[in-house]
Chain A
Amino acid sequence: MDETRLWTFIVVGVTFALYIGIAIVSRAKTTGGFYVAGHGVPAVFNGMATGADWMSAASFLSMAGLISFMGYDGCVYLMGWTGGYVLLALLLAPYLRKFGKFTVPDFVGDRYYSNAARLVALICAIFVSFTYVAGQMQGVGIVFARFLGVEVTWGVVIGMFIVFFYATLGGMKGITWTQVAQYCVLIVAFLVPAWAISHKLTGNPIPQLGFGSALQAGPKAGVALLQALDEIHRDLGLPEYTGAFIAGKKSMLDVLAIAVALMVGTAGLPHVIIRFYTVPTVSAARWSAFWALLFIGILYTTAPAVSAFARVNLIQELQGKPYSEVPAWVHKWEETKLIKFTDHNKNGAIDGIKRMGLPDETIELEVHPDIMVLANPEIAHLPPWVVALVAAGGLAAALSTAAGLLLVISSAISHDLLKRMLKPNMTDLEELFFARLAAGLAVVCAGLLGIYPPAFVAQVVAFAFGLAASSFFPIIVLGIFSKRATKEGAIAGMLLGIAFTAAYIVWFKFVHPETDKAAHWWLGISPEGIGTLGMLLNFAVTLAVSAVTKAPPQDVQDTVENIRYPREGRHPERGEGI
């Protein structure tokens, strides 16, 4: 353990020094540099930065474990958090890049010629980003606590210091290049243990193929892994791992609603959208969406394999075994309270394994989903430096996402609120000062949320995606593809979409959490999937209200025409002619 901790200190220390070094080299000198890295990031690197920006502590640490307990149902995360990039690449990124301003509220406010629309957009952007960032800072604290024995509070403070340094100094420029480095760290940290476990279980080192190969050892040797997993589940009286819509799993409509809500929500998240403002051209925006999804897909196609491997390992090594004979890693993670054994029937054996926190008194072993990634290196008997790499990977995932979100919050305040609405006459240098100030304050708020997490953090994740899906996505798409969409339509659509989605989530998550079950849901759609209906409502209302209100002014219609073609053409604001 001491050797592992030493390695962890070294690896984490080296990566942090790297991030700080990058920040010093790529300081921002103008607001353009601070908000969008001067539109100068090559497509491949923007793809990597987007990957790190997107893949949070949840993707890195929790997702594989969650899928491991969900089986087929885990596809809502896999498809939901990747499919949105198709929407981004085809419907949003090229046009927003051509529009060429700094933020999402910029587009909403200018396209809908209305500061009211800008204000609604900026409040949504800040709310969604704060929701998300609290979880990241908590993730930083937890990684420090588990791997380095540092108190959670100090872990968060160290994380705050690092992010504060490169976000306020470098802005988008610093964030982009640190994110590129962070992507490399996190992907290596995720893949190395996955390769080793895949090789150990199936003889095939490529997890995406090992996932479909036969098991090499144990009672089910020679049987295809997924088939073996289904048989084991049947023997234990559990729903089959690969089974869809059977008893004990989500309904088809709910899976569909959640997957669509997450896809559309992904495409509507401001910290993802602004990454596409940083590339030099429209073509580069399309290519960087491709690179982004390729780099994200490497982790997202590996994760479900890790889930299945972990499920097999967990059941084969622990299910029904006497507690006195469990492997050493179980006791180690018991210390951190991520594994908990309660011998209800006092027979000394492990009867049943469940996800930590689920109610069922007959099941004796409770396992936190994060274990599936955290304990992987030990389960596969990998050397201590791999454990250190996983710690650095978790920190890279959390810090990179936090930085991207903090930039959205800072630009919403300094650019959208101050420059565009309250103090339009301030100079670029003044705006840059406010941007840094806002970023610094946002880091402190995020850190406080990480140290004193409000009890509802887990519940509000559904909020972030639901709100992004029901607010931004429809009106941005209509703003590009319909010249007839009016400010009245967009404001009504956004407000009704948000109100409907928020009311549904608040009802089931906060007002009557005891009724948050399929039997009570409207149409059987869970709060996680309600954003899909909110999005459809927003589309319908925006189109209907636009049809009966006065068409947008000619210059707005000209702007819409202009963003559809990559070539710089008529652009009255910049004094360009055709």
Chain B
Amino acid sequence: MPVPEVPSDQEAQVQEEHRRYWRTNLRVLVVLLSVWFGVSCLLGIVFAEPLNRIQFGGFPLGFWFAQQGSIYVFILLILFYAWLMDREDRKFHVEQTGQPADVEEDA
């Protein structure tokens, strides 16, 4: 996949965009991993005992988070990340353009 030559004054701009993309990505990761940790380790485990005194549609709440809720949240977290990063990739012009060079020809 040939990539067009970019003059050096534009290269600085590209590098700045890359820096901002990576910072955005790191911020998103911190937020999403906090949710990941909060739901599984805190709601599902550390606070399971007090939450179990609350009933949630036939479930003790701590038990529900530990055996059901955390898995739903995990799925939603990845869905959100995949959707958001597709958008951010385009915004910072780092999305993959054509097919990668090494796709096997014999498919």
Q: Report the bound CA distance from A94 to B104 in whole Å.
A: 20
A-B contacts at CB below 8 angstroms, number: 190
Q: Does A371 contact B (CB under 8 A)?
A: no
Q: How far is the CB of B59 from chain A (nearest CB, A)?
A: 5
> How distant is the Cα of A213 from the Cα of B99 in the complex, in angstroms?
50
Structural contact, A578 and B96, CB atoms closer than 8 A: no
A259 to B63: give the CA distance in the assembly, Å.
Answer: 14
In contact, A72 and B63 (Cβ under 8 angstroms): yes
A524 CB, nearest partner CB in chain B, Å: 14
Q: Judging by beta carbons under 8 Å apart, are B78 and A290 in contact?
A: yes
- What does the 1/0 interface line of B47-90 toward A look like (CB < 8 Å)? 01100100011111011101110111011011101100110010
- B22, A78: Cβ atoms closer than 8 Å: no
B98 to A: closest C-beta gap in Å: 9
Which residues of B lie under 8 Å from residue A226 when comparing CB positions?
Answer: 58-60, 63
Q: A86-B36, A578-B6 are in contact. Are A567 and B78 (CB under 8 A)?
A: no
**Contact among B59, B78, B95 for A566, CB-based, below 8 A:** B95
Tell me, yes or no, whether A345 is within 8 Å of chain B by CB: no
Per a CB cutoff under 8 Å, which of A83, A90, A256 touches B81? A90
Residues of B close to A7: CB separation below 8 A: none
Cα of A83 to Cα of B86 in the assembled complex, Å: 22
How far apart sit A263 and B74, CA to CA, in the bound complex (Å)?
12
Q: Nearest 4 pairs between A and B by C-beta?
A: A38-B104, A212-B58, A75-B66, A286-B82
Residues of B within 8 A of A83 (CB): 36, 40, 70, 74
Nearest-CB residue, chain B, relative to A74: B67
The answer to whether A289 and B78 touch across the interface, beta carbons within 8 angstroms, is yes
A259 and B103 contact, CB distance less than 8 A: no
Interface string of A549-578 (1 = CB under 8 A from B): 000000000000100111111000010111
Given A243-B52, A283-B89, A290-B79, decide whether A79 and B66 contact each other with a Cβ distance below 8 A.
yes
Binding site secondary structure of chain A: helix
A67→B66 CA distance, assembly (Å): 12
Among A29, A38, A83, A300: residue with most chain B CB under 10 A:
A83
With A75-B45, A252-B45, A577-B3 in contact, is A280–B99 under 8 Å at CB?
A: yes
Residues of B within 8 A of A85 (CB): 74, 78
Given A32-B102, A40-B104, A225-B58 in contact, is the A565-B21 Cβ separation under 8 Å? Answer: yes
Residues in B whose Cβ lies below 8 Å from that of A297? 71-72, 74-75
Q: How far in angstroms is the closest Cβ of chain B from A561?
A: 8
Contact indicator per residue, chain A 349-370, by CB within 8 Å of chain B (1) or not (0): 0000000000000000000000
Q: How far is the CB of A570 from chain B (nearest CB, A)?
A: 9
Determine if B16 is an interface residue (Cβ-Cβ < 8 Å): no
- B25 CB contacts on chain A under 8 angstroms: 564
CB closest chain-A residue, reference B48: A244
The CA of A369 and the CA of B26, in the complex, are separated in Å by: 43
Complex CA distance for A293 and B81, rounded to whole angstroms:
13
- Using A259-B45, A260-B41 as known contacts, say yes or no to A33 and B33 having CB atoms under 8 A apart: no
Residue numbers in B under 8 Å from A256 (CB-CB): 41, 45-46
| Highest count of chain B CB atoms <10 Å: which of A29, A212, A577 | A212
How many B residues touch the partner, as a band? Answer: 35 or more
Q: Is the CB of B66 within 8 A of A72?
A: yes
What residues of chain B lie closer than 8 Å to A29, measured between beta carbons? Answer: 104, 106
| Shortest beta-carbon distance from B25 to chain A in Å | 8
A578 near B3: Cβ-Cβ < 8 Å: yes
Q: Whole-angstrom distance between the alpha carbons of A78 and B63 in the complex?
A: 12
Q: Please, which residues of chain B bring their CB within 8 A of the CB of A67?
A: 67
Asked whether B70 lies within 8 Å of A567 as measured between CB atoms, the reply is no
Q: Is the CB of B79 within 8 A of A208?
A: no
Residues in A with CB closer than 8 Å to B64 are 212
The contact sample of 16 A-B pairs, CB cut-off 8 A, is A32-B104, A38-B102, A78-B71, A90-B77, A214-B58, A242-B52, A244-B66, A286-B78, A286-B85, A561-B18, A564-B25, A566-B94, A567-B95, A568-B1, A568-B97, A574-B101
> Contact at A79–B36, with CB atoms within 8 Å?
no
A90/B11 in contact, CB under 8 A: no
**A301 x B68 contact (CB < 8 A):** yes
B79 proximity list for chain A (CB < 8 A): 290
A327 to chain B, nearest CB (A): 27
Report yes or no: A259 in contact with B46, Cβ–Cβ below 8 A. no
Check A224 against B96 for contact (C-beta < 8 Å). no
Across the interface, which residues of B come within 8 angstroms of A38, CB to CB?
102-104, 106-107
* A161 CB within 8 Å of chain B: no
Which of B78, B96, B107 contacts A293, CB < 8 Å?
Answer: B78
**Residue among B14, B68, B86 making CB contact with A304, cutoff 8 Å:** B68
Which residue in chain A gives the minimum CB-CB distance to B58?
A212
Q: Which residues of chain B are within 8 angstroms of A452 by Cβ–Cβ distance?
A: none
A90-B29 in contact given A75-B66, A280-B100 (Cβ < 8 Å)? yes
Tell me whether A39 and B103 are in contact in the complex, defined as CB-CB below 8 angstroms, given that A211-B68, A213-B58, A242-B52 are known contacts: yes
Q: Which B residues lie within 8 Å of A561 (CB)?
A: 18
CB distance from B66 to the nearest CB of A (A): 4
Give the nearest-CB partner of B29 in chain A. A90
* CB contact between A281 and one of B1, B33, B75, B100 (< 8 Å): that residue: B100
Judge whether B104 and A290 touch: CB under 8 Å: no
A412 interfacial by beta-carbon distance below 8 Å: no
Question: Which residue from B3, B89, B94 sits with its C-beta under 8 Å from A576?
Answer: B3
In the bound assembly, the distance between CA atoms of A576 and B98 in angstroms comes to 14
Q: Does A287 contact B (CB under 8 A)?
A: yes
Which B residues lie within 8 Å of A30 (CB)? 104, 106
CB neighbours (8 Å) of B21 from chain A are 565
